[in-house]
Amino acid sequence: MREPVLAPIESPLLAQSCGPSIRHGFFTRKGGVSSGLYSSLNVGLGSNDRREDVLENRRRVAAYFLQPPERLATVHQVHSSDVVTLDGSYAGERPNADALVTRQAGLVLGVLAADCGPILFADPKNKVIGAAHAGWKGALFGIADNTIAAMIALGAEREHIHACLGPSISGRSYEVGPEFVERFLAEDPAYRAFFTPSSRERHALFDLPGLTTMRLKAAGICAENLDIDTYPDGDRFFSYRRTTHLGEADYGRQISAIAIMEA
């Protein structure tokens, strides 16, 4: 039986600006070997899925970039604003952080998500890439800005950095309570623009992708939002919030990844 060919979603912005020298993909849950709740391309080492299945799924993602699995770099995501810079000495470490940057060809940078926002970055002129996991804490406290700063430290130029926010939970599906809203307004009253009243009293719908995209553009880079909602699309995406509402025991994670292709 032939192994399925992975067909991740691509960013029109990144595809056009980077060409074949930088490959990227926002992978769905399709094309893997996991079963049940994790069907099928679950790459979450923190899930309760069979570890051998998760490792096989990660191998398939790495192979999409023509690399062995040990060249797929991910971090232990902790909803921080911390960024790790990787070079040719990378040996499989998974430090606590929520973004990675590199200028090393052949190293695949990946971030996992199941509603949070995966952001892929590229400066095709200077061959510097980045990947960030932006949940609400990361979006609020500057994971995008810190990723851009780390790329610039590697030689990227702000005017040449392009970024795309991949599939994530949208404002149509993300209801929050009053304490959540107040936390944002305490940081900046202008953030009220990202909340709209919901059907429940004192609750609101939160536009996380809108805030994330605003932060990217405010940082002075060219950015786009794929505007794909993970919550209602159970056929293509894992969703932590959907799993919670359904009372399921666990959930998988999809991956978004980018790599500078070796000559």
Cβ-based neighbour number of residue 229 at 10 Å: 19
Least confident of 1-10, 85-94, 129-138: 1-10
pLDDT single digits (tens) 35-52:
999 999 999 999 999 999
- Structural domains of the chain ordered from first start: 12-170+226-260 (3.60.140.10)
pLDDT band at 182, cuts 50/70/90?
Answer: very high
Report the predicted TM-score, pTM, of the whole model to 2 decimal places: 0.98
Is pLDDT of 2 > 70? no
Q: What is residue 1's predicted lDDT score, i.e. its pLDDT?
A: 52
Separation between Cα atoms, residue 239 and residue 198, nearest integer Å: 20
Separation between Cα atoms, residue 54 and residue 34, nearest integer Å: 7
Average pLDDT of span 220-232: 98
The one-letter code for the residue type at 204 is A
CA atoms within 13 A on the CB side of 16: 9
Angle at 250 between CA 247 and CA 91, to 5 degrees: 160
Give the helix/strand (H/E) hosting 62: helix 51-64
Separation between Cα atoms, residue 14 and residue 130, nearest integer Å: 12
Q: List the beta bridge partners of residue 25.
A: 257
Q: What is residue 5's predicted lDDT score, i.e. its pLDDT?
A: 78
Q: How remote is the C-alpha of 96 from its chain's centroid?
A: 15
The fraction of the chain above a pLDDT of 90, given in percent, is: 97
Q: What is residue 129's predicted lDDT score, i.e. its pLDDT?
A: 99
Q: How remote is the C-alpha of 151 from its chain's centroid?
A: 17
Ordered strands of the 175-176 beta sheet: 175-176, 204-206, 195-197
Separation between Cα atoms, residue 238 and residue 24, nearest integer Å: 20
Label residue 249 exposed, middle or buried (CB < 10 Å: 0-12, 13-18, 19+): exposed
**CA-based nearest residue to 188, from 139, 237, 245, 234:** 139
Q: Cβ contacts of residue 47 below 8 Å, gap of 6+?
A: 38, 54, 250, 251, 252, 253
pLDDT band at 143, cuts 50/70/90?
Answer: very high
The one-letter code for the residue type at 29 is R
